Each structure stands twice: as structure tokens, then as C-alpha cells.
Amino acid sequence: MIQLDASQAQQIHAENLRLQEELQMRDQLVQQLSQELFRLVKGNAIAPVPSSDEPSERHLAEVQSLREQLHTVEQQVTFYQEQMTQRDQEIYELRQTTQELTERSKMLEQVVQELPKVYRQKFAERMQPVREKVAMIQRENRQLHAELQSVNYRLAVKNRRNGHLDLPTFPRGEGDISLPTFGNA
């Protein structure tokens, strides 16, 4: 499918309008040429016929001139018909392109509307293993915390039975305890 942005679609639309205007102008020109041709043909039918059996040179020159004009008009009509056919084809192609772009635009609009739902679903799917792992770690943490409480309780009971507290011991020196000094403060 053809991908075009909004400015290209507007350009196509503007070109389409221009071509339609040009087509209308050519239709008017063909109409005018047809009327002129009819007027010329009708004028020849009304023109007085010379009384002699042989046509005059003036009459022959006019007929020749009219034939040349008729031939020129026919060429112009043929040319404009060819151009109209080409423009019709271009208009058809532009309408097809416009229709394709409209359908693509609707499809993309639908996709954009569905994106939040899809992202939420994908995020939930990705978060499920993380939630399970967090729940497992929390269970382990509670279990370890319970074991720690149990060990602390047993130690406390054991220390009470023995009658002494298990305090840390510090090495004793010569009796000199060095205390920090604060200088000449």
C-alpha cells in the first residue's frame, strides 16, 4: 500500500481539484468549438450558390479555408479528447490512491486506539514473572525472619539458663586506657 503523509495527501487533493477545473475548462472549449463548427457548417449551407454551374474561385477558396479550419478544429478536438482521457485516468488513479490512503488512515487510527490496551496487556504479561519472584522472595524473607526470631529466642533461653550474658570481651592492657584528646581546647 502507498504511504503518504498528510501534506502529500493535501497536494494530491489540490492536484485533483486543479485537474477537475482544467477538465471543465476544456469541456467548455470543446463545446465552443462544436458550436463554432456548427455555425460554420450551417453558414455554408445558407450561403448563396452562384448562378453558374462552376463554383467561383472565391467560393472554392472559402471552402478550402473552411476545410482547413475544420481540420484544425478536428485536430484540436482530438488533442483535447486525448488530454481528457489522460486526465480521466489520472483522476481515477488519484481517487484510487485517496481511497487506499483513507482505508490505511482508518486502519492506523484503529491501531492507535488499541495501542494502550495492547501495551497494558504486554506490561501485565511481563510483570507476572516479576510479581511471582517478589512473592517468592517475600515468603523466603518471612521464613528467614521467623527462623532468626526462633534462633534469637533459643539463644536468650540458653543464656538465661547458664546465668550469664554472652557479652563481648575486650583485651586488657597494662591498665592504661588511652582516651582521645581534644587538643588545646
Domain ranges of the chain: 6-46+62-114
Give yes or no for residue 29 having a pLDDT over 90: no
Position with higher pLDDT, 1 vs 112? 112
Give the model's pLDDT for residue 66: 83
Give the model's pLDDT for residue 45: 59
Instruction: Report yes or no: 40 and 62 within 8 Å, Cβ to Cβ.
Output: no
Cα dihedral value 46, 52, 54, 57, nearest 10 = -70
Give yes or no for residue 18 having a pLDDT over 50: yes
Give yes or no for residue 98 having a pLDDT over 60: yes
Region of poorest pLDDT, from 14-28, 112-126, 155-169: 155-169
Confidence category of residue 181, pLDDT binned at 50, 70, 90: low
Position with higher pLDDT, 124 vs 67? 124
Mean of per-residue pLDDT scores for the chain: 82
Give the model's pLDDT for residue 93: 93
Question: Would you call 184 exposed, middle or buried from its count of C-beta atoms within 10 A (0-12, 13-18, 19+)?
Answer: exposed
Give the model's pLDDT for residue 15: 82
Global pTM exceeds 0.95: no
Cα 149 from chain centre: 62
Give the model's pLDDT for residue 169: 65
Region of poorest pLDDT, from 21-25, 151-155, 171-175: 171-175
- Cα gap 181→185, rounded to integer Å: 9
Residue 136 grid coordinates? 517468592
Winning range, highest mean pLDDT, from 21-30, 31-40, 77-86, 175-184? 77-86
Confidence category of residue 1, pLDDT binned at 50, 70, 90: very low
The closest of 9, 6, 5 to 99, measured between CA atoms, is: 9
- Cα angle, residue 140 at apex, residues 137 and 142 outer, rounded to 5°: 110
DSSP the chain: -----HHHHHHHHHHHHHHHHHHHHHHHHHHHHHHHHHHHHHHHHHSPPPSSSSPPHHHHHHHHHHHHHHHHHHHHHHHHHHHHHHHHHHHHHHHHHHHHHHHHHHHHHHHHHHHHHHHHHHHHHHHHHHHHHHHHHHHHHHHHHHHHHHHHHHHHHHHHHHTS---------SS--PPP-----
What are the backbone angles phi and psi of residue 150, rounded to the nearest 5°?
A: -65, -45
Radius of gyration of the chain (CA): 51
Winning range, highest mean pLDDT, from 20-29, 121-130, 153-162? 121-130
